[in-house]
Amino acid sequence: MKQLFSLGQVVATPGALEALEEARQAPLHLLNRHLIGDWGDLDKEDIKANNDALIYGDRLFSAYRLSTGEKVWIITEADRSSTCILLPEDY
C-alpha cells in the first residue's frame, strides 16, 4: 500500500515503548498502518477528520489496541514534522 504522508521525526513515550514490548508488538507495524490510512480503532467522525486532514494538512490521529488490550495512540503533527507514539494517559 502507498504511504499517504511523511512521519517526520518519530518519537515515543516510555510508557508506550513499555506497552509495546510487553505486548511483543513492533512499533514499525503500527506506524505502517498509520502511514497507509488504517487509523485503527476510531469512530466514523475521527476517520473523516483524518481523511480531511490528509487533504488540508491537519493533525493525524490513530488508535490501536495491543494484544494485551492496552491502547496506544499515534499522532502526526499538522506540519508533518513529527509523529509520537503514546498511551492515552501520556497525552
Q: Which pLDDT belongs to residue 1?
A: 78
pTM of the predicted protein model: 0.96
pLDDT tens digits, one per residue of 41-86: 999 999 999 999 999 999 999 999 999 999 999 999 999 999 999 9
| Average of per-residue pLDDT across 14-39 | 97
Give every strand in the sheet of 60-65, ordered side by side: 9-12, 82-86, 71-76, 60-65
* Residue indicated by cell numbers 492496552: 70
Q: What is the dihedral of CA 85, 46, 39, 17, to 10 degrees?
A: 20
Q: What is the mean pLDDT of residues 11-28?
A: 98
Return the domain boundaries, the chain: 9-90
Confidence (pLDDT) at 21 = 97
Q: What percent of the chain has pLDDT over 90?
A: 98
